[in-house]
Amino acid sequence: MKKNLKYLLILLATILIGITLFQLEYINGIILMILIYIFFVYKYSKTKNKLYLFIIIAFTLRMIFIILDYSFELLPYGWDTGQFQSTALLIKNNLYNFRNLFYNISESTSVKSYSLFVSFIYTIFGSYEINIRIINALLGVLIAREVYDISIYTDFNKEMALKAAFLSVFWPSFIIFTSINMRDALIIFLTLNLIKQFFKFKEHIILNKLIFLLDFIFIFYLRKQNLPLFIFIFIVYFIWKKVKNSALIYKIISILGLAFSFFGVLYLLEANIFPLLSFDYIAREMEYRTSGGAAYLDWISYNNIFDMIIYLPIRSLYFLFAPFIWDISSNIFIIFAFLESTMLIGIILYTLRNFVISDKIYNKRILLLLIFLAIGVLGYAVVTANFGTAIRHKMTFMILIFILISPYFNVISIVDD
């Protein structure tokens, strides 16, 4: 009874803060917030699974951040969120006037796709940005459920799954970037769900395969660069899976096949046959991202394919672990990113100290996570050139790291009720 009273007090305090800081026009958002709390408190009271306790606390932190950001405009992403907001309102207006949804909208496919999702939320709850931010916060905490399920499907125990879920919902930048009007929360949720549905293929349920396909399509429209990247990830996984216990001749053939695929990708990059697999596209993307604020390695430029290969290791390290101490400036955002990156490096080093090679490393699902992590980081590192983009785009891969290190990360001990 005392526990339920504590959660009720948290809920009432949040409602009072919301009513105090927001005008009556935000009542739909406040009602949505209340319904989300009621659902998760009910789930926790029924299951006693600490996962839902994590979700309740993590959702509360996101609501606090939303209120603070509304009051003080903490983040330098006004241009990005403004673009999504204005496009969503145009789509909604076109819908009400029975026009083509994208009439008089010249934004990219990715912007239009996410803005369509935002306009759908606005049609239901009202055209106030707080509503989409609450939905994104909801997706941000539901990531914990996906991480938990993926960990269990990977044959980790409940404590390991809870550790991975804990890190995934309470990591500082995740709280921030899943609480704003941007694509990240939706893309991360869909990507993790894609992996989970793939793990469930052996259950022979058509619905799993349909959801997997829909996730793939939605992710492509939200961030089109993921299409060739994800296809290549699954190709590598299937080849590796087939040849791991095969005869030597098949392993040699597979290695040659992967080498042929690698040089085939290089040819496509050089030939500029497909826009998303072209050297010109990669060079333009990197130049565009370097031109913004908080750029890193801005002395690197791609003059040919081999430049891209030569600089890939250092770009990958920067993408995943920067900013480093020599990158610190008076920019509070850079300082925050440095502290978080230092924390990530510390966690990984601590985990490596406790790492024990076991039969689990040969688990096929762990293999997919490792391939997804390695190829994903390499693919994004090629075109990412500023800290602001890197801290958002690496979140999915950090979550995969949290899952993979959870068996060896004993700094925290979480025992389910």
How many structural domains does the chain have?
2
- Count other C-beta atoms under 10 Å from residue 371's C-beta: 18
Instruction: Output the pTM of the full model.
Output: 0.88
Are 43 and 192 members of one domain? yes
Same domain, yes or no: 6 and 106 = yes
Matching residue, tokens 């934004």 = 107
Q: What is the pLDDT of residue 34?
A: 83
377 is in which domain, residue-wise? 225-417
pLDDT for 219: 94
Cα–Cα distance measured from residue 395 to residue 401, given in angstroms and rounded to the nearest whole number: 10
Domain boundary among 165, 198, 224: 224
Domain boundary among 195, 224, 253: 224
Residues 216, 280, single domain; the answer is no
Same domain, 70 and 132: yes
Mark whether 145 and 274 lie in a shared domain: no
For helices 158-170 and 50-72, give the axis angle rounded to 10 degrees.
0
Spatial separation of the C-alpha atoms in residues 18 and 67, rounded to whole Å: 8
Same domain, 114 and 244: no
* 78 shares its domain with 59: yes
For the chain (417 residues), the mean pLDDT of every run of 10, in chain order, is 58 58 66 86 88 94 89 80 94 94 92 96 90 96 97 93 96 96 97 95 82 94 86 82 63 61 55 54 60 76 80 93 88 89 93 67 81 90 88 96 91 66
Do 50 and 123 belong together in one domain? yes
Pair 383, 414 in one domain? yes
Smallest CA-to-CA distance from 184 within 235, 133, 150 is with 133
Do residues 182 and 289 share a domain? no
Of 159, 193, 224, the one marking the end of a domain is: 224
Are 363 and 388 in a shared domain? yes
Same domain? For 156 and 232 the reply is: no
